[in-house]
Amino acid sequence: MKSCLVVDDSRVVRKVARKILEELNFACSEAEDGKQAMEACAAQMPDAILLDWNMPVMTGIEFLRRLRKMSGGEQPKVVFCTTENDLAHIQEALSAGANEYIMKPFDSDIIQTKFAQVGLL
């Protein structure tokens, strides 16, 4: 079973994403900010990370840049899931190492399609 770390400061978003991902047979863990996500990745690197942009403590883009420099940090497929929909944000995310980009709000079909595109399904 593949693992996915859901990183979002909204408990509701984490809960919805977790339900969708568990239906897709992912073992899920959660973090409410980039700092918690770094700690989770240091303990055990997941196969996938569903990542919010705007969070307290450490933003998604800061987390992504640090993750990609960690030992094993190039491995997880990172899918940004955010309300930031302008081209500049999307380009910044992809250049920092994101594999895909999902707009909020999302549903099961969107997550399934993006995770399939990056080879997780």
Answer yes or no: is pLDDT of 84 > 90.
no
Domain 1-116: what homologous superfamily?
Response regulator (3.40.50.2300)
Q: Could you read off the pLDDT of 35-80 as tens digits, one per residue?
A: 999 999 999 999 999 999 999 999 999 999 999 999 999 999 999 9
Task: With beta carbons less than 8 A apart as the criterion, state whether 116 and 87 touch.
Answer: no
Angle between helices 87-96 and 60-69 (to 10 degrees): 20
**What percentage of the chain has pLDDT greater than the value 70?**
100
Q: End-to-end CA distance of the chain, in Å?
A: 11
Q: What is the distance between the alpha carbons of residues 80 and 51, in angstroms, rounded to a whole number? A: 5
Residue-wise pLDDT for 24-33, tens only, equals 999 999 999 9
Quick one: what percent of the chain has pLDDT higher than 90?
Answer: 96
Q: Among residues 121, 54, 38, 39, which one has the least CA distance to residue 89? A: 54
At 85 the pLDDT is 84
Q: What is the pLDDT of residue 114?
A: 97
